[in-house]
């Protein structure tokens, strides 16, 4: 489904700011894999997401989707297969447009946009049904501007917009990090639900170890631009936070020390 | 009677400037792109249509050609910004300067008179101007509204709102920006073509300050008539363009110096931009004082919470 082969990203090569963000990274996702990604600040998690989605181009190596190299395709071209939800709740929606209009934009992922009317009765009805999945009452606010929604509501909408057209690959980059704990929990549960329902191949970055363990069937840990741990489905069940910390110490010979990693 | 005549004239002229204001609304408000091409493209539309009319082309064809010429200019501005990665303000300024020479080339001289030529307004029977032109302008507004509610229109609006988001849904934002700026300048140029035909000549300097006038119309309209939905916003811009002309006409009636008009326009824009902010902060301050009173009233004189 998704293959990352020998990908290296070197920012500002040959300057004092040179930074090896990804170093010869290999990763292979099978269809309907749900992989959680953990790692300290600056480990290269977001860079990896940006390379997959086409925001950044790899300096070496390639990205394949369904066996086809997509290195040359721009972000908007890859969006046919790849959906994203960002950390910032503002990032995934258009605030001065209504909920229905936002969904209508998302609905055309991978399709040509024409001079057809963007909304009609059937579409609105369909959007209403989809919004009901979220269970937070947005189905009654179809004509409200998205700018009026709370961060949690927006993130729930972003998640729906990213997933309801069933993209091949879903990329989530700390998409619950900016929310308060109860909202984060809500989005986390919704994520699990939609990923299962739509059977999406998913890569989810999180700083919350408990969340990384609870969600998904596979877990990888990144450090200094490399994948240093890859826990397969067979071992992921029954994994504890202590196990992870032990593994990390064993591999790196040091204690995992990162304020942003939530142990709970 | 004289006053009424002046008022009528200002409404007529205001109607012709509506398309320009709608163009500025597209670039400034929808795309969030402060496009200064407008000063040049307004004249381009005037020049192209005037020259074509003197060559005997039908006025409607000449006017539409003005639209196309403006759209072409806008396309270049859009390309400079998206493909050339030039800052948006600078792209517009460069294009505006380039258009000055191009407009001179089109006319071959700084002024093209149209006296005695038939224009799009020749088709209007005497006394029907204020009946027919408003209908045509409203039709343009409604077409623009409809366009902004198509799938492409949604993509355009989202481009001005959140580029990152709309790209993640497969829209090439370079294309939407170019499309929007082209459409904007097309409307501006068509407005120029109409004004030239109305006043009976195209002049090389007729576009000077047009961007500020357009902005003034947009801001005045939004301030008076609101802009909650696209329909409301374009209506506000339409009325704003007319109100602006009436304000200017009144200023002239009060014996204000014609040379000071641009200064007055600039002041209107500044006032319209600052007043709502002051109003808002006064409102917030009052609400806070009320809240403080409320909070204090729950605390007795010894500082204890009486609700506890
Ligand atoms: N555009 C860029 N230019 C230069 N350096 C960059 C750029 N983007 C990222 N980096 C650097 O690359 C490294 C990896 O960054 P990245 O954002 O991928 O980390 P991350 O694992 O997502 O961290 P976090 O947990 O803080 O989000 C960091 O050292 C970062 O400073
Ligand atoms: Mg990151």
How many residues are there in chain B?
A: 308
pLDDT band at A255; cut points 50, 70, 90: low
Complex confidence, ipTM: 0.87
pLDDT tens digits, A31-75: 999 999 999 889 999 999 999 999 999 999 999 999 899 999 999
pLDDT at B286: 85
Mean per-residue pLDDT over chain A, rounded = 90
A with B: how many residue pairs have Cβ under 8 Å apart? 85
Chain A neighbors of B149, CB-CB under 8 A: 117-119
pLDDT at A84: 94
Surface of B (141-170) touching A: CB under 8 A: 146-147, 149-155, 157-158, 161-162, 164-170
pLDDT band at A264; cut points 50, 70, 90: very low
Query: CA of B206: how far to CAs of A54, A151, B45, B65, B202, in Å?
Result: 46, 48, 11, 18, 7
CA B185 to chain centre: 10
pLDDT at A180: 87
**Which ligand is nearest the CA of A223, by number?**
1
Boundaries of every domain in chain A: 2-94+150-252
Cα A85–Cα A87–Cα A93 angle in degrees, nearest 5: 55
Region of A24 (left: φ > 0; alpha: ψ -120 to 50; beta: rest) is left
pLDDT at B4: 77
DSSP 3-state of B201: strand
pLDDT at B274: 83
pLDDT at B252: 83
**pLDDT one digit per residue (tens) for chain B, 308 residues:** 677 777 888 999 999 999 999 999 999 999 999 999 999 999 999 999 999 999 999 999 999 999 999 999 999 999 999 999 999 999 999 999 999 999 999 999 999 999 889 999 998 998 899 999 999 999 999 999 999 999 999 999 999 999 999 999 999 999 999 999 999 999 999 999 999 999 999 999 999 989 999 999 998 898 888 888 999 999 999 999 999 999 888 888 888 887 888 888 888 778 877 877 787 788 788 888 888 887 787 765 555 555 54
Task: Look at A212-221, A242-251, B61-70, B227-236 and tell me which has the smallest mean pLDDT.
Answer: A242-251
The residues, ordered by sequence, that sit 6+ positions from B236 with a Cβ below 8 Å of its Cβ are B218, B221, B222, B224, B225, B226, B227
Please check whether residue A108 touches B, CB under 8 A: yes
DSSP one-letter string for B83-111? TS---HHHHHHHHHHHHHHHHHHHHSSSE
Please check whether residue A117 touches B, CB under 8 A: yes
The CA distance from A140 to A147, in Å, is: 16
List B118's β-bridge partners, or say none. Answer: none
pTM (2 d.p.):
0.88
List A221's β-bridge partners, or say none. Answer: A38, A229
CA torsion sign for B242, B246, B247, B249 is positive
Question: Tokens representing B262?
Answer: 């641009």
pLDDT band at A261; cut points 50, 70, 90: low
The residues, ordered by sequence, that sit 6+ positions from B296 with a Cβ below 8 Å of its Cβ are none
The CA distance from B274 to B284, in Å, is: 16
Buried/exposed code over B291-300 (b: 16+ C-beta within 10 A; e: otherwise): eeeeeeeeee
pLDDT band at A162; cut points 50, 70, 90: very high
pLDDT at B1: 60
Pocket of ligand 1, beta carbon within 6 A? A 11-12, 19, 21, 39, 41-47
Chain B neighbors of A73, CB-CB under 8 A: none
pLDDT tens digits, A138-150: 999 999 999 999 9
Residue B154 to residue A91, Cβ atoms within 8 A? no
The CA distance from B103 to B121, in Å, is: 23
What residue owns the CA closest to ligand 1's atom 29? A42
The fold of the B2-256 domain, in CATH, is ABC transporter involved in vitamin B12 uptake, BtuC (1.10.3470)
Domain A2-94+150-252 = CATH 3.40.605.10: no
């Amino acid at each position: 489904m998704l293959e990352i082969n020998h990908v290296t990203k070197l920012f500002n090569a040959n300057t004092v700011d040179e930074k090896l963000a990804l170093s010869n990274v290999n990763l292979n996702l099978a269809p309907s894999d749900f992989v959680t990604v953990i790692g300290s600040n600056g480990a290269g998690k977001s860079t990896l997401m940006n390379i997959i989605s086409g925001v950044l181009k790899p300096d070496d190596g390639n990205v394949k989707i369904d066996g086809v190299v997509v290195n040359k395709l721009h972000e908007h071209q890859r969006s046919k297969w790849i959906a994203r939800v960002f950390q910032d709740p503002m990032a995934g929606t258009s605030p001065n447009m209504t909920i229905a209009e936002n969904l209508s934009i998302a609905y055309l992922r991978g399709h040509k946009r024409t001079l057809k009317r963007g909304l009609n009765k059937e579409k609105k009805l369909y959007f209403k049904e989809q919004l009901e999945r979220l269970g937070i009452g947005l189905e009654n606010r179809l004509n409200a501007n998205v700018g009026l929604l709370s961060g949690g509501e927006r993130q729930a909408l972003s998640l729906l917009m990213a997933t309801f057209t069933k993209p091949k690959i879903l990329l989530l980059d700390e998409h619950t990090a900016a929310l308060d704990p109860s909202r984060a929990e809500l989005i986390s549960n919704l994520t699990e639900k939609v990923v299962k329902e739509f059977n999406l191949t998913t890569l989810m970055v999180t700083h919350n170890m408990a969340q990384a363990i609870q969600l998904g069937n596979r877990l990888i840990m990144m450090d200094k631009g490399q994948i240093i741990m890859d826990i397969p489905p067979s071992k992921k069940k029954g994994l504890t936070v202590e196990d992870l910390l032990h593994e990390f110490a064993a591999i790196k010979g040091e204690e995992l020390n990162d304020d942003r990693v939530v142990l709970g | 009677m004289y006053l009424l005549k002046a008022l009528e004239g200002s409404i007529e002229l205001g109607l012709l400037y509506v398309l320009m204001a709608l163009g500025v609304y597209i670039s400034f408000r929808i795309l969030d792109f402060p496009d200064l091409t407008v000063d040049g493209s307004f004249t381009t539309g005037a020049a192209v249509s005037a020259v074509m009319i003197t060559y005997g082309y039908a006025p409607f064809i000449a006017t539409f050609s003005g639209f196309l010429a403006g759209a072409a200019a806008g396309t270049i501005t859009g390309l400079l910004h998206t493909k050339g990665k030039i800052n948006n303000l600078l792209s517009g300024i460069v294009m505006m300067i380039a258009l000055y020479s191009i407009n001179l080339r089109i006319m071959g001289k700084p002024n093209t008179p149209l006296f005695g030529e038939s224009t799009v307004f020749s088709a209007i029977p005497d006394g029907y101007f204020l009946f027919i032109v408003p209908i045509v302008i409203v039709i343009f507004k409604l077409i623009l509204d409809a366009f902004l509610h198509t799938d492409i229109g949604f993509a355009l609006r989202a481009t001005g709102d959140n580029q990152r988001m709309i790209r993640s849904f497969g829209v090439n934002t370079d294309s939407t920006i170019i499309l929007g700026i082209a459409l904007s300048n097309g409307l501006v140029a068509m407005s120029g073509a109409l004004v030239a035909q109305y006043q009976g000549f195209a002049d090389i300097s007729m576009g000077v300050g047009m961007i500020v006038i357009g902005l003034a119309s947009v801001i005045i309209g939004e301030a008076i008539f609101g802009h909650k939905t696209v329909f409301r916003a374009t209506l506000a811009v339409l009325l704003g363009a007319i109100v602006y002309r009436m304000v200017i006409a009144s200023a002239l009636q009060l014996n204000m110096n014609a040379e000071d008009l641009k200064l007055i326009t600039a002041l209107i824009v500044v006032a319209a931009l600052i007043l709502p902010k002051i109003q808002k902060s006064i409102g917030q301050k009052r609400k806070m004082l009320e809240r403080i009173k409320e909070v204090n009233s729950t605390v007795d004189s010894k500082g204890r919470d009486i609700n506890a």
